[in-house]
Amino acid sequence: MTKKKILIIEDNEDFRSSLALEFEDKGFEVIPIESMNQIPKTNIDYAIVDLRLKNDNGIKCVELIQQISPFCRIVMLTGYPSLATAVKAIKKGAINYLAKPANMQQLEKALFEEEFIETENKKNTNATFIPVAPSLARHEREYIEYILSECNGNITSAAKRLGLHRQSLQRKLKKYPPKS
């Protein structure tokens, strides 16, 4: 019996190794990598993809995985959740979108259980992404995150698209602490 393959694309080496060990213990063939150019050109059953990688954009990784393995079940994992990136990840082929820190049980449910996708996304959408009265600062942050993802994390390009100086954009990004 061949083992199911799971691809883990994460630039944090400790987290990547930890996930790899967990899935190896569960009987998977694990392919832990840190960048898009390491994605194997073979069929993959499951993938966990970090949204922000050092030199890559996780959404582009999702697109490439979908081209190589159209039936791969992909979960996008991020420390910077926003409605814009969640929608984009799902449209590109991810079956779920989880905010860090996510535990192993949440990851397994997101990857393997069909009913989890609908119930957890509804729960997360109501609790995490759509507050009762979203602040202007939150909208601004989400839009900046969206533009940054469109520019593959390039702050200079994002600043130009936003009509800001690069330093102004960097100050805005520092103003909002990363969501974890």
Domain ranges of the chain: 5-129, 136-175
Four-CA torsion 108, 47, 28, 70, nearest 10 degrees: 110
Whole-angstrom distance, CA of residue 90 vs CA of residue 104: 21
Which residue type, as a one-letter code, is found at position 35? S
* Residue 22 CB burial class (10 angstroms; 0-12, 13-18, ≥19): middle
User: What pTM value is reported for the model?
Assistant: 0.64
pLDDT of residue 167 exceeding 70: yes
Which stretch of 22-31, 66-75, 122-131, 144-153 has the lowest confidence by average pLDDT?
122-131
CATH domain 136-175 topology = Arc Repressor Mutant, subunit A (1.10.10)
> Residue 32: phi, psi to the nearest 5?
-90, 120
Which tokens in the block code for residue 152? 């593959």
pLDDT at 65: 93
110 neighbors 116 (Cβ within 8 angstroms): yes
Instruction: Return the pLDDT at 135.
Output: 56
The per-residue pLDDT for 132 is 39
Domain 5-129 class? Answer: alpha beta
DSSP 57: B
Q: Quick: pLDDT tens for 37-51.
A: 899 999 999 999 999
